[in-house]
Amino acid sequence: MLPNETLDALGNPTRRAMLELLRGSPRSVRELADAFPVSRPAISRHLRVLHDAGLVTAEASGTRRIYSVAPDGFQPVRDYCDRFWDVALRRFQVVAENLEQP
Amino acid sequence: MTLVRTVDVRVSQARAFAVWTEQVGMWWPPGHSMTGEAGARMAFEGGVGGRLVERAPSGREIAWGRILSWDPPLGLSYAFFAGAPPGGASEVDVRFEAVSETQTRVVVTHRPGSLAREAWAGTVSGFEAGWAAALPSYSTFTHQESS
């Protein structure tokens, strides 16, 4: 299953929208704040959640920090899907081959 | 992060499609529940626009997906919300290829769905509500399963 950190990070519409934006191109906190109707401290808090969940990385550029989507950030999601389909397809096969036809 | 899986089953193409859709409640991996209620069952509402829905004994229903294409017995595809990348849903495409009269190859392709996102553009608020409602129990459940 997905780690709770990933679920929690993705379970917020603003954070999902921030990730969408960062997927397009890396941005600073200020650039992100300009794109959303929420305060800069709120954006910073969202970034911290995303960062702690491993979904974004930060890089210093002069006095600014530039955020981008972490290349491996969605690995837990990928792992979840892998496990889900492993189990689902095995069960589907057993049901399909053993269930009495109506 | 497109994922492709195949499984061969010793039944006809039509039967494979029927089991996938009508008997999803039987093969859905146990514990993959958003309601967290014992006895909750998955079901497909057949046809484009229908839901892949979890129905709990309390009457609570949570949609896991929305059907994007429905072509029995060849295949179907649906927007899938669990483990979705940000912005909406991933997309699951299921093809049933007849190997013989009594053997079918099932090919599942699970990809981040731009198509799914477009299909959902008009109903994003409903989807957000679904996520919000689903997440607490989903997290609780994940925690239980991993402990």
Mean pLDDT of A1-25: 75
Q: Which residues of B touch A81 (CB under 8 A)?
A: 1, 3, 83, 90, 110
* Best residue in B9, B117, B123 for a mutation probing chain A (most A CBs within 10 Å): B9
Looking at residue B129, its pLDDT comes to 37
Distance CA B18, CA A22 (A): 41
B27 vs A97: CB contact, 8 Å cut-off? no
Give the range with max mean pLDDT: A20-34, A74-88, B117-131. A20-34
- Cβ atoms within 10 Å of B35's Cβ, excluding its own: 20
B87 vs A101: CB contact, 8 Å cut-off? no
| DSSP letters spanning chain B | --EEEEEEESS-HHHHHHHHHHTHHHHSPTT--SS--TT-EEEE--STT-EEEEE-TTS-EEEEEEEEEEETTTEEEEEE-TTPPTTS-EEEEEEEEEEETTEEEEEEEEEE-HHHHHHHGGGHHHHHHHHHHHHHHHHHHHHHHH-
CA angle B73, B44, B75 (to 5 degrees): 25
CA distances from residue B106 to A78, A95, B66, B111, B133 in whole angstroms, order as listed: 20, 14, 20, 16, 32
Tell me the ipTM for this assembly.
0.76
Give the range with max mean pLDDT: A21-25, A78-82, B83-87, B143-147. A21-25
Residues 6+ apart with CB under 8 A from B80: B52, B64, B65, B89, B90, B91, B92, B110, B113, B116
- Block residue for tokens 């229903």: B61
Looking at residue A27, its pLDDT comes to 95
B85 vs A77: CB contact, 8 Å cut-off? yes
* Best residue in B76, B93, B139, B141 for a mutation probing chain A (most A CBs within 10 Å): B139
Give the residue extent of every domain in chain A.
Answer: 4-98
Mean pLDDT of A66-87: 80
> pLDDT tens digits for B32-71?
887 778 899 999 999 999 999 999 999 998 888 889 999 9
- Block residue for tokens 């794109």: A35
Mean pLDDT of A96-100: 91
CATH hierarchy code of domain A4-98:
1.10.10.10
Helix (H), strand (E), coil (C) string for chain A: CCCHHHHHHHCCHHHHHHHHHHHHCCEEHHHHHHHCCCCHHHHHHHHHHHHHCCCEEEEEECCEEEEEECCCCCHHHHHHHHHHHHHHHHHHHHHHHHCCCC
Comparing alpha-carbon positions, the chain B residue that sits nearest to A90 is B7
- Cβ atoms within 10 Å of B63's Cβ, excluding its own: 18
- Side-chain-side CA neighbours of B133 within 13 Å: the count stands at 13
**Whether this model's pTM surpasses 0.80:** no
Kindly give the confidence (pLDDT) of every residue in chain B, 147 residues in length, as a single tens digit, with 9 standing for 90 and above: 577 889 999 999 999 999 999 999 999 988 788 777 889 999 999 999 999 999 999 999 888 888 999 999 999 999 887 655 444 677 899 999 999 999 999 999 887 664 444 433 333 333 333 333 333 333 333 333 333
Looking at residue B147, its pLDDT comes to 31
The reply to whether B146 touches chain A by the CB within 8 Å rule is yes
Give the residue extent of every domain in chain B.
Answer: 3-28+38-122
Looking at residue A77, its pLDDT comes to 65
Looking at residue B85, its pLDDT comes to 47
Query: Which pLDDT band, with edges at 50, 70 and 90, does A91 fall under?
Result: very high
Looking at residue A79, its pLDDT comes to 75
Query: Which pLDDT band, with edges at 50, 70 and 90, does A28 fall under?
Result: very high
**Which B-chain residues 12-41 have CB contacts (< 8 A) with chain A?**
15-16, 19-20, 23, 26-29, 32
- Cβ atoms within 10 Å of A62's Cβ, excluding its own: 6
CATH hierarchy code of domain B3-28+38-122:
3.30.530.20
Q: Which residues of A touch B121 (CB under 8 A)?
A: none
